[in-house]
Chain A
Amino acid sequence: MRLDGVGKRYGRGGRWVLRGADLALEPGALVRIEGPNGSGKSTLLKLAAGIERPSEGRVRRPRRRAYVPERFPPALPFDARTYLAALGRVHGLPAAEARRRADGWLERLGVTAQAGTPMSRLSKGTCQKVAVAQALLAEADLLLLDEAWTGLDRAARSLLDEAAAERAALGGVVLFVDHDPGRLAGLATDGYRVGEDGALHRLPADASGEGGAPGPLVEIDADSPDGPLAGLLPARLPGDPERTPLAGTAVRLTVRAGQSDALLRRLLDGPSAVRVLAVRRLTDPVAEAPAAGQGDAEGGGGRDAEPAGAPVVEPVVEAAP
């Protein structure tokens, strides 16, 4: 995916929303786009998707693309399953495969019960899930998420996090815009800000991230009651923790303090049932969390820094609960 000096303005003599935007992304990139309201984030994503044509400059994009808008209209005269199957066919999938994937994503997003309901009768969040499914079922090389998390419930949000990270890990390019600064923290490989001048400015990588100053280390012991944890955890975790197997199904994850919050959040919010047994700061080994259930763990240390970009390139292992 490549933007070369891309500019966009709506109408002749209109304001330049983007100007001289350059961006070159390799496969595996999971990139956050930031900027205040109306700064051109959505326009940038639409240019990348080919929905808008640039007023100047050049856009090169992979052939297989998928886009999730912020709000998806329920005004379509289809039910969710029919719409997804039809879009799957437009993506180039055979009919049976399109139907299979549509059903698969509807099930994962928890909307199987409403799959046959006309979309005009679906709630806003359910419609958004259909929009997410529409993009994910294609396994596109370029995935564009324009505040796609808006209106989704917690489970669907973390599923979309997971899917976006997986797309990037499997060699796709993912561009996303979201108002939650913690969205995909530690997983995003890069961040750009749309400036006042309409150009793209690379966000500085966080000092605690990889390649930054070596901060104190944090150990997180985690266990999964369902089976060998090492196999259940996604390969791509915030901060790229070092993994050491412990007794039974437990595993010890060692990560920089700056990334530990993001890692904990992901362990607890993720789709796999993970129990955090202990959190320890290695320089002053005191904070020990009780071995209670999910959500009881306290982030010992690591409150001092914001988690941010750490590039990891590894295939994600499908994490079934």
Chain B
Amino acid sequence: MRALVRYQAALLLRSYGWLPPVLAYTLLMVIAVSIGDPLLGSQAVGAAVLLPVTAWLVRVVVTAEPAASRACLTAVATAPRVQVAALLTALSAGLLLAVGGTLALWAVSGPVSNRKVPPAPLGAALSAGLLASAVCVLLGVAVGALCNRPVLLRGQYGIPLALAAATLALVAPLSPANAAVRELVDASRSGRVGQPWAALVPAAVLLAVAAAGACALAGRRTG
């Protein structure tokens, strides 16, 4: 599995398929966040943006390989394992982006929380931001797993569906991503930072279910 993930990561890196999603992430962050904004509020935006961006990364990884070389890879490693490796690759890329984004926001942000409330501790704010980002990345991978091959065989519906699913995952009140982002917003307003651990577990479960479903379907028509 390590060799498979390494192969897919090399494919992602060398094909420059990561560039459009990362550019989109950067662009959205530049638009939404100004230098000197409170850290927790910026992190809430960053985590929310990560969800559709990670879903996009999944799409890039899953479609990076031409059919013939994918067939060779599948013969060697079996379709479910290739699918798991693709999702793990996208997950790693998303988490890397989450860490990079958090560090960048820390560098450019002003106070930790809103100016009118008592200042929140920086360490707690950073870890809360990272956790919320991780929740959004997990859900982004789940959305990507469900909106691409092998679950969705028709490529043209994948993008609008993924966008709709990502939006739903962010705004639905029961969604772990919604809970995690809301927690950051509340922390910024109140100055009391809570860690969104409670959202991480259901996010991981949702991803596991989505990934298991996608892998069970892998091996359907690959061409």
Contact = CB atoms under 8 A, between A and B. Distances in A.
Interface in A15-67: 46, 49-53, 65-67
A52 to B, nearest CB: 7
A148 B170 CA distance: 49
Given A77-B14, A86-B7, A50 B219 contact: yes
B60 to A, nearest CB: 12
A113 interface: no
B221 A67 contact: no
Contacts of A69: 68, 71-72
B7 A90 contact: yes
B222 interface: yes
A82 to B, nearest CB: 8
Contacts of A51: 71, 74-75, 79, 222
B126 to A, nearest CB: 35
Contact of B71 (A53, A67, A76, A89): A67
B69 A76 contact: yes
The size class of the interface chain B forms with chain A is 20 to 34
B152 interface: no
Contacts of A65: 75-76
Contacts of A49: 71, 74-75
A194 to B, nearest CB: 18
Contacts of B69: 72-73, 76
Contacts of A72: 68-69, 72
A115 to B, nearest CB: 16
B222 A52 contact: yes
Interface in B61-106: 65-69, 71-79
Contacts of B77: 90
A100 interface: no
A75 interface: yes
A131 B72 contact: yes
B3 A50 contact: no
A73 B74 CA distance: 15
B4 interface: yes
A71 B68 contact: yes
B62 to A, nearest CB: 16
Nearest to B73: A90
B221 A87 contact: no
A189 interface: no
B161 interface: no
B75 A67 contact: yes
A269 B221 CA distance: 39
B115 interface: no
Contact of A50 (B4, B67, B75): B75
Contacts of B117: none
A144 to B, nearest CB: 7
Contacts of A76: 11, 65-66, 69
A14 to B, nearest CB: 10
B10 interface: yes
A10 B4 CA distance: 28
A135 interface: yes
A138 interface: yes
B157 to A, nearest CB: 16
Nearest to B222: A51
Contacts of B76: 65-67, 87, 90-91, 138
B15 interface: yes
A68 interface: yes
Interface string A95-138: 00000000000000000000000000000000000010011001
Interface of B: 3-4, 6-7, 10-11, 14-16, 65-69, 71-79, 219-222
Given A50-B75, A51-B79, 12 more contacts: A51-B71, A51-B222, A53-B79, A66-B76, A76-B69, A78-B11, A82-B10, A87-B7, A87-B72, A89-B3, A90-B73, A90-B77
7 contacts: A52-B222, A53-B219, A66-B76, A87-B7, A89-B3, A90-B3, A90-B76
Question: Which 5 A-B pairs give the minimum distances between C-beta atoms?
Answer: A67-B75, A73-B66, A77-B14, A89-B3, A49-B75
